[in-house]
Amino acid sequence: GQNIDQPTEMTATEGAIVQINCTYQTSGFNGLFWYQQHAGEAPTFLSYNVLDGLEEKGRFSSFLSRSKGYSYLLLKELQMKDSASYLCAVRDVGGSYIPTFGRGTSLIVHP
């Protein structure tokens, strides 16, 4: 099974940088995802990490340390539209490729 932990809520100021952490425990590891979900909408894919290190994509970056069971999502130059829930999901080894999602971190960006 898998256990995924991320903070419930975070607040930040427009223009600032925020780091959302995710820790996980899994019997086998085959990739970690970050999804963004605005209220009442479907999750949309942000990033995928399977090897250690930092993956940068525009204002968003995602980091993975497999030995520590740890990832973070870094959002730079925050905008009001970044207010959303950020879901960390981990995929176990095996053939089904089905990720298990954490509860999500609700990010509130204020002016």
Binding-site ranges for another protein (CB under 8 A): 8, 31, 33, 41-45, 48, 87, 89, 91, 96-104
- Closer residue to another protein in complex, CB, 91/109: 91
The nearest distance, CB 91 to another protein, in angstroms, is 7
The nearest distance, CB 111 to another protein, in angstroms, is 25
The closest of 42, 31, 18 to 89, measured between CA atoms, is 31
Say how far apart CA 47 and CA 3 lie, in whole Å. Answer: 20
The nearest distance, CB 30 to another protein, in angstroms, is 9
22 DSSP β-pair partners: 71
- Closer residue to another protein in complex, CB, 52/111: 52
Residue 21 CB partners (closer than 8 Å, separation 6+): 6, 7, 70, 71, 72
